[in-house]
Chains A and B, each alone.
Chain A
Amino acid sequence: MAGTLEVSLWRGGADGRYVGYEVPMRDSQTVLDVVTWVQRNADATLSYRFACRVGMCGSCAMTVNGRPRWTCRTHVSKVASDGKLKVGPLENLPVIKDLAADMRPFFEKWQQAQGRFAPSKTRTDPIERISPDSPARLAANAAIECINCGVCYAACDTVRWNPDYLGPAALNRAWTLVNDVRDAANVERLTAVAADSGCHACHSHQSCQEHCPVALNPTASIAGLKRKTAQAYLRGEIKP
């Protein structure tokens, strides 16, 4: 494939602007390849984030032609319209510089939703046997492969309208732990996600599901949390 791509990249912080670059087209070129080409050949001061380049680490998400995407697995040929590519930092997060968004609010909400495993046993206890086809395990499996890329968070209009909303990724993570029978912190977790701006703020736009690069369905996980918290509240196990 010969020719050039017209690429505009966000440069600077929140008050920055898009700057144009001409990048040679290549076969099987990804958006991350394009960004890397600019950094190596046009402007070494370009800041962006990546690590694994194979869709596992969740570091390289950016806004590509208006949509949040994992850039390492996004082929230019699939997304460039008329050889034009516009790449910016993820939305709904502060910009640090250029294409690097500040992920702190995203991970702080992950913690706020109690998105960490709380062990109920010690290493001297026997290993818990969990049947792979138990309903709870199946529910956890369906949501477990999140790579923390932040694409769903950037795609979510509820996050945009209510900056306190925990967002799809943190709630999806909470749902996997709610379905982990070994976890000891579910009262705290359900209390955290049942508060104002928790799971009940979700409007089921399903943008998270539509944009998730690993085809998860956070909307379904959040619906599960809505049921679980409602049951827990009605039984008096949690207080809002």
Chain B
Amino acid sequence: MNVRLYIWQRLTAALMVPLLLVHIAVIFYASRKGLSAADILARTRGSVSWALFYGVFVSAVAVHASIGLRTVLTEWTPLRGRTRDFAVIAFGLLLAVLGFRAVVAVVLP
């Protein structure tokens, strides 16, 4: 990992700490109340705040996870150089695409 990847990974990590605390609170709240799909969507649909919150979260996690995966591939597999970098970029894009799709699914009115 070079200094640029390091800064991106640690910045997204720090950014996700408060987001995660809120996310864990949401998990606890939703599970405890046993919210139905209608309950959840009533709270999220049309909400700019939830769209922003989870939009940022998805972006951060896509960057953070793909850089982490790059290190794991370097150390635990024979993948190196471009092959490895294409693989992790593809994974990061997969996370971003699926993540934004999920955000859109729950916030679009």
- Do A and B touch each other in the complex, judged by CB within 8 A? yes
Residues of A within 8 A of B (CB): 158, 161-162, 194-196, 198, 200-201, 226, 229-230, 233-234, 238, 240
Q: Which residues of B contact A234 (CB under 8 A)?
A: 7
* Other A-B pairs beyond A158-B75, A162-B74, A200-B6, 12, CB < 8 Å: A162-B75, A196-B1, A198-B2, A200-B2, A200-B3, A226-B6, A229-B3, A230-B3, A230-B6, A230-B7, A230-B10, A240-B5
Interchain CB contact under 8 A, B1 and A201 = yes
**CB-CB contacts below 8 Å: B1-26 with A:** 1-7, 10
Interchain CB contact under 8 A, A195 and B6 = no
- Produce 1/0 per residue, B74-109, CB < 8 A to A: 111000000000000000000000000000000000
Interchain CB contact under 8 A, A161 and B76 = yes
Interchain CB contact under 8 A, B1 and A233 = no
By DSSP majority rule, is chain A's interface helix, strand, loop, or mixed? helix
A195 and B5 alpha carbons, distance in the complex (Å): 10
Interchain CB contact under 8 A, B75 and A233 = no
Interchain CB contact under 8 A, B5 and A200 = yes
A62 and B89 alpha carbons, distance in the complex (Å): 42
Q: Which residues of B contact A196 (CB under 8 A)?
A: 1-2
Interchain CB contact under 8 A, B2 and A195 = yes
Interchain CB contact under 8 A, B3 and A233 = yes
Q: Which residues of A contact B1 (CB under 8 A)?
A: 196, 200-201
With A196-B1, A200-B2, A201-B1 as contacts: A233 and B7 at CB distance below 8 Å: yes
Q: Which residues of B contact A230 (CB under 8 A)?
A: 3, 6-7, 10
Closest CB of chain A to B76's CB: distance in Å?
7
* Cβ 8 A contact of A194, one of B2, B10, B76: B2
Q: Which residues of A contact B74 (CB under 8 A)?
A: 161-162
